[in-house]
């Protein structure tokens, strides 16, 4: 079965053709980063307008690169939440129009399910159950994937998402948007043990996250250095901040794997591009004898191939959406 998948929940306009949930026939991504960089972050109205400008071309390219026409496709899958409402609506509108015109089934997909499914594309042998740590710009979820499309959310962030913390700290130290890759690059020149930033854990909720404390600690550190006239070593700040965030993500993931007796651990979401995080979880899994799964960076950040994989498994479960499918900005998982 081959699906056309569309993703437009944030600042990437993407379309892909995916076979049987596991094989990428095409994966086209038009990034808006250069536009949003000018404003230091994603501007929702601009994101929607940019999606409208390029979506038809992105979809055409996805079909032609896969050497398929709309008539060859078995279903149209689209992210319908969570995300920016105006941005989501562009993808949902395009998917409904195409599915209606070509008389194909329409399958709405949860964006986080997509991030998790990136692991099915990266490793065709991976089967549930497994534990997945999803860390992106908007979400930090620790999820047990019990079966295809069946999830138990063990932990989530109480405030900022991990990627959001990276982006905010990057802005504070003058690195600009998007912050994650810039902090990761600068951190390579710094000492992760130079500054002790807090590693929050929440009483009675050992798998939940909180990243606003570490973000505020960085801002306070910068202010205090400025007031004392002390020079700031930005590389040390980046390395110490990255060490604190990736340390918490790793510790909570390994604790959950141990507590629930799950011996397969996967990573997903934009923050999973972070080589420090990848290294820490990989090493911890090796120490514990767990299998470790990790999509390549292009499948960690937003893309439509992951939506095609998740959509395929939803379709197989019998999920079909009507022409009244709407964007749901705060769509819950599971
Ligand atoms: O999954 P994604 O593309 O979009 C959302 O669904 O949010 O994730 C984007 C987030 C941004 O916050 C970005 O700064 C972060 O992922 N990110 C990274 C790295 N690459 C991207 N964070 C840390 N280290 C990286 N190398
Ligand atoms: Zn995402």
pLDDT per position as a tens digit, 75-93: 999 999 999 999 999 999 9
Ligand 2 center–CA 114 separation, angstroms: 8
Share of the chain above pLDDT 90, in %: 95
Q: Residue 109: which of 319, 324, 265 has the closest Cα? A: 319
Residue nearest to atom 16 of ligand 1 (CA): 270
> Rounded mean pLDDT of 204-218?
95
Ligand 1 residue neighbourhood (C-beta within 6 Å): 10, 136-138, 163, 166-167, 178-181, 184, 269-271, 273-274, 301-302
Mean pLDDT of the chain, nearest integer: 97
How far apart CA 295 and CA 300 sit, in angstroms, is 6
Residue nearest to atom 18 of ligand 1 (CA): 180
Residue nearest to atom 7 of ligand 1 (CA): 137
Atom of ligand 1 nearest to the CA of 83: 6
How far apart CA 9 and CA 261 sit, in angstroms, is 34
Residue nearest to atom 13 of ligand 1 (CA): 180
Ligand 1 center–CA 269 separation, angstroms: 7
- Residues 106-163 have pLDDT tens digits of 999 999 999 999 999 999 999 999 999 999 999 999 999 999 999 999 999 999 999 9
* Ligand 1 binding pocket mutation candidate from 137, 162, 172, 299 (most atoms within 8 A of CB): 137
How far apart CA 56 and CA 62 sit, in angstroms, is 10
Q: Report the pLDDT value the prediction gives residue 52, as an integer from 0 to 100.
A: 98
How confident is residue 242, by pLDDT bands cut at 50, 70 and 90? very high
Q: Residue 211: which of 165, 251, 280, 180 has the closest Cα? A: 165
Q: Report the pLDDT value the prediction gives residue 201, as an integer from 0 to 100.
A: 86
> Rounded mean pLDDT of 58-72?
98
Atom of ligand 1 nearest to the CA of 297: 20
**Confidence check: pLDDT of 334 > 80:** no
How close are the terminal C-alpha atoms of the chain, in Å?
24
Q: Report the pLDDT value the prediction gives residue 238, as an integer from 0 to 100.
A: 98
Q: Report the pLDDT value the prediction gives residue 146, as an integer from 0 to 100.
A: 98
Of all ligands present, the nearest one to the C-alpha of 241 is 1
Q: Is 324 helix (H, G, I), strand (E, B) or coil?
A: coil
Residues in the chain, overall count: 334
Determine the distance from the C-alpha atom of residue 241 to the mean position of all C-alpha atoms in its chain, rounded to a whole number: 20
Ligand 2 center–CA 136 separation, angstroms: 6
Q: Report the pLDDT value the prediction gives residue 40, as an integer from 0 to 100.
A: 87
Ligand 1 center–CA 163 separation, angstroms: 5
**Confidence check: pLDDT of 177 > 90:** no
pTM over 0.85: yes
Determine the distance from the C-alpha atom of residue 332 to the mean position of all C-alpha atoms in its chain, rounded to a whole number: 15
Q: Report the pLDDT value the prediction gives residue 239, as an integer from 0 to 100.
A: 98
How confident is residue 60, by pLDDT bands cut at 50, 70 and 90? very high
Atom of ligand 1 nearest to the CA of 115: 1
How far apart CA 207 and CA 143 sit, in angstroms, is 10
Cα separations in angstroms, 189 against 16, 43, 76, 97, 236: 37, 31, 45, 50, 8
How far apart CA 42 and CA 87 sit, in angstroms, is 11
How far apart CA 17 and CA 121 sit, in angstroms, is 12
């Amino acid at each position: 079965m081959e699906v056309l998948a569309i993703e437009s929940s944030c600042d990437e306009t993407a379309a892909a053709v995916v076979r049987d949930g596991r094989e990428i026939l095409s994966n086209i991504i038009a990034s808006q980063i250069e536009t949003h960089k000018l404003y230091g972050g994603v501007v929702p109205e601009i994101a929607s307008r940019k999606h409208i400008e390029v979506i038809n071309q992105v979809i055409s390219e996805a079909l032609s690169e896969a050497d398929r026409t709309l008539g060859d496709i078995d279903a149209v899958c689209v992210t319908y939440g969570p995300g920016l409402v105006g941005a989501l609506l562009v993808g949902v509108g395009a998917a409904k129009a195409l599915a209606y015109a070509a008389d194909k089934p329409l399958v709405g997909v949860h964006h986080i399910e997509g991030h998790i499914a990136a692991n099915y594309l990266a490793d065709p042998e991976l089967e549930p159950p497994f534990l997945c740590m999803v860390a992106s710009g908007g979400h930090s979820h620790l999820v047990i994937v019990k079966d295809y499309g069946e999830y138990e959310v063990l932990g989530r962030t109480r405030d900022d998402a991990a990627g959001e913390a990276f982006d905010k700290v990057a802005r504070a130290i003058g690195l600009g948007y998007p912050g994650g890759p810039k902090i990761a690059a600068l951190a390579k020149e710094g000492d992760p043990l130079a500054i002790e930033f807090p590693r929050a854990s929440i009483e009675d909720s050992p798998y939940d996250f909180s990243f606003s404390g570490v973000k505020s600690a960085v801002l306070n550190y910068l202010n205090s250095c400025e007031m004392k006239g002390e020079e700031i070593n930005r590389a040390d700040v980046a390395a110490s901040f990255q060490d604190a965030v990736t340390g918490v993500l790793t510790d909570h993931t390994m604790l959950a794997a141990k507590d629930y007796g799950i011996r397969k651990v996967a990573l997903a979401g934009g923050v999973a591009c972070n080589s420090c995080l990848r290294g820490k979880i990989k090493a911890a899994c090796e120490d514990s004898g767990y299998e470790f799964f990790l999509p390549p960076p292009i499948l960690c950040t937003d893309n439509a191939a992951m939506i095609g994989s998740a959509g395929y498994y939803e379709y197989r479960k019998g999920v079909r959406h009507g022409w009244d499918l709407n964007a749901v900005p705060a769509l819950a998982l599971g």
